[in-house]
Amino acid sequence: MPAKKKSSDKPLVGKALIKEVNRRIRAARSYWDAHNNRACRGEREKAMALYETLTKEQRDQVPQSLRVWLRYRSEKYFGEHRTKPGRKK
């Protein structure tokens, strides 16, 4: 039986939130490098949701390379103008 995931009742704040954003972006990039687009899309969406909650000062603490990948490079492939993934017939 797989281990249970911990669910925290408290939302992340401060350095823990920044650390989680960085971790999710790095995970999405590793999935991207492994050509695992479905997993990459999921991690990227979670990272974007957390990134949007950051203040301007907190966003500056996210490394530039991660911000660029999250905002610009991945938007090219996962943006709204792209066809959403679905079932193959």
Provide the 10 A C-beta neighbour count for residue 50: 19
Looking at residue 41, its pLDDT comes to 86
Q: Which residues of the chain have pLDDT under 50?
A: none
Looking at residue 11, its pLDDT comes to 73
Could you tell me the residue ranges of all domains in the chain?
14-78
Give the Cα separation of 67 and 6 in Å (integer). Answer: 27
Contacts of residue 21, defined as CB under 8 A and 6 or more positions apart, other chains included, come to: 47, 50, 51, 54, 62
Looking at residue 66, its pLDDT comes to 92
Q: What is the largest CA-CA distance in the chain?
A: 47
